[in-house]
Amino acid sequence: MDKKILLSPPDLGGQELKYIHEAFDTKCILSQGTNIEVFEKELEKFIGGGSFVAALSTGTAALHLGLVKLGVKAGDEVICQSFTSSASANPITYLGAKPVFVDSEADTWNMCPKALEDAIKSRAIATSKKPIAIVIVNLYGMPAKMDEIMAVARKYEVPVLEDAAEGLGSTYKGRQCGTIGHMAALSFNGNKIITTSGGGALVCQTKEQKDHVVFLSTQARDTAAHYQHSHIGYNYRMSNIVAGIGRGQMEVLKDRIAARRSNNAFYQDLFKDIEGVTVFTEPSEDFFSNHWLSCITIDEAVCGKNREQLRLALLEDNIETRPLWKPMHMQPVFQDAPYYGTNVAEKLFDRGLCLPSGSNLTDEDRERIAKAVRAFFK
């Protein structure tokens, strides 16, 4: 059997071990040190927009602290894109708040601005208060329609937390994802566009915010020789070892984006003559996706095959694919949460498949994929 072609494996740049060794050599293996400082600086430089970045242990931790900073408290309602990872929604519940799920729109697969406004209005009537925050996502790297989303957010004065875990390096009207909302979470989990093995970051707009996030993420210690606490803290800071991996990965981020985008171009070409299959790509020039994962939707009414048949056929050839995210409002754990929309995400889940998208996908891998796909649709 040929070797397994994975969906999105890590892709090391080469310098990562050097920076880890530096951490050991200088005995800086704690939650502070040069690797953390440089990694944060490099991220700030890369995403721009005057951002301040706090490196944390995971993207989920970043979302959790982002919600804390936006003032989410027990009993509040937080609007969340339904079509996403459970990690976008779970931190809402960590705070005792309740998620309200909003559908996606067909062209970006991200939160529908109309459904968002409908949800805010309906919740104000149902609960006589406004939702306290909005979590939007750049799914598979595709930017959301941020002008429209931010206009609704401003109109109702609800802050926006961007879950940019999948969107590092994507831009909307020339602005980096993660710099458009009020705060943003990044992830460096093993399958993301760059990885630190596990890691995340919270993107802030001011140095004061960042300093406070670092304070909260290191057990919220007051200034004193002993352990003195006036706030509930968290143990969410990134370690200086892990940040060394991030430092090495920042050196190759641009190449990783180019490689993922070339995968998408490959799939566009592969599927261009296969009727009923659509490769997900940018709706207009305003959007630049890092194409973290390349995805397709299959219309069974047109091609007589469905995504599950394709998934199983590719698996026979040791090629890993995965159905799109199952929307959160369809998950048993969130069955009681309110949902606003017209089932766009449900249809996408039914028809969609993520294809092998690693930045280390080889020409040989592509040939195998092309052969298997052509055989399946013959």
Ligand X SMILES: *Cc1c(COP(=O)(O)O)cnc(C)c1O
Residues 332-371 close enough to bind ligand X by CB under 6 A: none
x/- binding map, residues 53-92, to ligand X, per CB under 6 A? Answer: -----xxx-----------------------xx-xx----
Cβ proximity to ligand X, 82 vs 368, nearer residue: 82
Find the shortest distance in angstroms from Cβ 88 to ligand X: 5
Find the shortest distance in angstroms from Cβ 267 to ligand X: 20
Find the shortest distance in angstroms from Cβ 111 to ligand X: 12
CA distances (Å), origin 65, targets 155, 213, 268, 271, 291: 25, 7, 38, 41, 27
Find the shortest distance in angstroms from Cβ 191 to ligand X: 7
Residues 157-176 close enough to bind ligand X by CB under 6 A: 163, 165-166
Find the shortest distance in angstroms from Cβ 200 to ligand X: 5
Cβ proximity to ligand X, 274 vs 328, nearer residue: 328
Residues 131-160 close enough to bind ligand X by CB under 6 A: 137
Cβ proximity to ligand X, 242 vs 373, nearer residue: 242
CA distances (Å), origin 376, targets 135, 312, 362: 38, 10, 21
Cβ proximity to ligand X, 192 vs 368, nearer residue: 192
367 contact partners, CB below 8 Å, separation of at least 6: none
Find the shortest distance in angstroms from Cβ 268 to ligand X: 23
C-beta of residue 179 within 8 angstroms of C-beta of residue 203: yes
CA distances (Å), origin 363, targets 58, 82, 257, 263: 32, 35, 17, 10
Nearest alpha carbon to residue 56 among 45, 47, 68, 65: 65
Cβ proximity to ligand X, 58 vs 264, nearer residue: 58
Cβ proximity to ligand X, 81 vs 270, nearer residue: 81
Distance in angstroms (rounded) separating the CA atoms of residues 103 and 327 = 9
x/- binding map, residues 196-235, to ligand X, per CB under 6 A? Answer: ----x-----------------------------------
Find the shortest distance in angstroms from Cβ 243 to ligand X: 14
Residue number, nearest CB to ligand X: 59
71 contact partners, CB below 8 Å, separation of at least 6: 132, 133
C-beta of residue 159 within 8 angstroms of C-beta of residue 70: yes
Distance in angstroms (rounded) separating the CA atoms of residues 66 and 183 = 7
Chosen residue from 176, 189, 289, 321 binding ligand X by CB under 6 A: 189
Q: At what angle do helices 146-156 and 113-127 cross, to 10 degrees?
A: 20
Distance in angstroms (rounded) separating the CA atoms of residues 314 and 131 = 43
Distance in angstroms (rounded) separating the CA atoms of residues 341 and 104 = 8
Cβ proximity to ligand X, 189 vs 290, nearer residue: 189
C-beta of residue 164 within 8 angstroms of C-beta of residue 142: no
Chosen residue from 187, 196, 263, 297 binding ligand X by CB under 6 A: 187
Cβ proximity to ligand X, 16 vs 166, nearer residue: 166
The residues binding ligand X (CB under 6 A) are 58-60, 84-85, 87-88, 137, 163, 165-166, 187, 189, 200
